[in-house]
Structures are given as C-alpha cells and as structure tokens.
Amino acid sequence: LLIRAMIAAANADHHIDAEERRRILGKSEFIGLSAEQRQFLETEFDRPSTIAALAREVGQDADLARQVYVMSLLAIDLDDDAERAYLARLAQA
C-alpha cells in the first residue's frame, strides 16, 4: 500500500518522471526486493492507484492514513500545482 501510495503521488501530474521513479526504486531497493516484488513495482508504474482506491484500503485507520500521506510526500517534489492539489485531495480522502 505504501509503495502504491508513492507511485500514485508521483503520477499526480499524470507523468512519473525519471527522478520520481529513481526515488521510489531507491527506497524500495533499501528493503531488498525479490524479482516478484520488483515486477509488482513495474506493473504499478504502468497503472498507478487512484486516491479513492488508496482511501478504501486505508479505511478508518488513522495511523495508516498518516503513513500513506508521508510516503506520498516523500515520493515527490512539491514543485507544481498538480502535486499540491493531489496531496490536498489525499488528505481529505
């Protein structure tokens, strides 16, 4: 869920650039991914989750919601309005 949140945030402007991809892969490499897990990442890059899907998975778990938000924030540079708007919508969801 947390990795999907990072990928969804990186896609806030409908494009995951090389730096965002590198940042996400770097954080995931830190935990030592298997080939299967690496394939999962590649699939997620091709079809990122939506805010609604992430919110459904979080449910009413406030701690998990905070983790999803923080991981989303770590995945991006707040350098455009689309990313700021994404985080605002995520916080509301």
CA 18 → CA 48, 60, 79, 86, 88, distances in Å? Answer: 15, 34, 15, 19, 24
Cβ atoms of 16 and 82 within 8 Å: the answer is no
Point out the residues of the chain with pLDDT beneath 70.
Answer: 27-31
Q: What is the pTM of this model?
A: 0.85
At 39-60, the pLDDT tens digits run 888 899 999 999 999 999 999 9
pLDDT for res 29: 67
